[in-house]
Amino acid sequence: MRVQMLGLCRFSYLGMRGYQVDHDRIEDRRAYLYDPDRLARRWSWFETVALPGWLAQTDPDYTLVLMTGPDLPDPFLARLRDLCDRVPQLRLSLVPPMEYHLQACRAAIAPHRDPDATVIGHFRHDDDDAVAVDYIARARADFAAVADLWAREGRLSLDHARGLMIEARDGRLRITPRICHNMGVALTIFLRPDAPETALDFNHTRLAQWMPGVQVPEPVMFVRSIHGDSDSGDMGPGLPWQPEEGAINRILRERFDLRRGALAALARRLSLG
């Protein structure tokens, strides 16, 4: 069985709808998204938090589509182009502004579907979150254990639910271990290859309306960032979990290729901007 792992990461995509911060006019949306200071902050989160885990995946057989608009200002568009030129798993998709966000996401993903795949594991990834370095490998292995459940309907969600919440407020970094149900990050939606949908087509808080789901509570699989530029600044519902004394630094390093000092420095630096 050929399982394609195919993800979508939106980097300040200029389109209407699809986000919790909304605007009535495209001009207002452009001014908000393309504000130079905001773009610089988003890039800092993307470069510091999101990228390390993707570049260190133990299973390199995945595709992550970076979706943005063709008029994204430089140097950020140039940086995305350079990154995708250097990393074969990353693909740049320049989508003009569209009224309907799901249509835009489908347009970004469609050229990258593998027609020879038996099943496609779709995932969404925000540009300020992180997945563990073995997310792709574990998603494939865990799906294999429940593939018969997927075969009944051609749809299945696989939720890796244990992670860390990183809050950057007033220049300070706070890390909260959390088990969350269908948070969105490290959540894989397995569909048939001819299905037109992407992971964005399904509200991750209501997945039971459309498909069976499996939750995997181990190991630590995601980092979710909460800060002043977050589309949603709420930690949301979940359960606490307690790592061993002094283990968080090791978890960040071994599971995500992140350093707590770099995260704290980012929180301080952005509070000064």
Q: Given this model, what pLDDT does residue 220 score?
A: 98
Structure tokens at 124: 């969404």
Q: How confident is the model at residue 65 (pLDDT cuts 50, 70, 90)?
A: very high
Tokens standing for residue 232: 């949603």
Query: What average pLDDT does range 126-155 have in this prediction?
Result: 97
Average pLDDT of the segment spanning 69-78:
97
Please tell me which of 23-37, 181-195, 220-234 the model is most confident about, judged by mean pLDDT.
181-195
β strands within the chain, DSSP E: 3-10, 63-68, 90-94, 119-124, 130-131, 155-160, 162-169, 172-179, 187-191, 213-216, 222-226, 239-240
Report the share of the chain in percent with pLDDT over 90. 82
Predicted pLDDT of residue 17: 59
Q: How far apart are CA 197 and CA 84, in angstroms?
A: 24
Which amino acid, 246?
G
Q: Evaluate if residue 3 carries a pLDDT over 80.
A: yes
Question: What is residue 6's predicted lDDT score, i.e. its pLDDT?
Answer: 98
Rounded mean pLDDT of 225-248?
Answer: 83
- Is 273 a residue whose pLDDT tops 80? no
Amino acid letter at 256? F
State residue 19's pLDDT score. Answer: 54
* C-beta of residue 75 within 8 angstroms of C-beta of residue 153: no
The mean pLDDT of the chain is 93
Domain ranges (residues) in the chain: 3-272
Report the share of the chain in percent with pLDDT over 70: 94
Cα–Cα distance measured from residue 130 to residue 143, given in angstroms and rounded to the nearest whole number: 20
pLDDT at residue number 231: 62
Q: What's the pLDDT score for residue 55?
A: 98
For residue 166, how many other CB atoms are within 10 A of its CB?
26
- pLDDT for 247: 96
Q: Give the model confidence (pLDDT) of 167-221 as tens digits.
A: 998 899 999 999 999 999 999 999 999 999 999 999 999 999 999 999 999 999 9
Whether residue 199 contacts residue 8, with contact meaning beta carbons closer than 8 Å, is answered with yes
- Mean pLDDT, residues 134-147 taken together: 98
Q: Are 207 and 213 in contact (CB under 8 A)?
A: yes
Residue 20, pLDDT > 60, answer no
pLDDT for res 233 = 61
Q: Domain spanning 3-272 has what CATH number?
A: 3.90.550
Please report the pLDDT score of residue 155 as a whole number. 97
Residue 26 confidence class, pLDDT cut points 50, 70, 90: confident
Q: What is the mean pLDDT of residues 242-253?
A: 94
Predicted confidence at residue 229, as pLDDT, reads 74
Q: At what angle do helices 26-33 and 36-45 cross, to 10 degrees?
A: 60
The shares of helix, strand and coil residues in the chain, as percent rounded to the nearest 5, are: 35, 25, 40
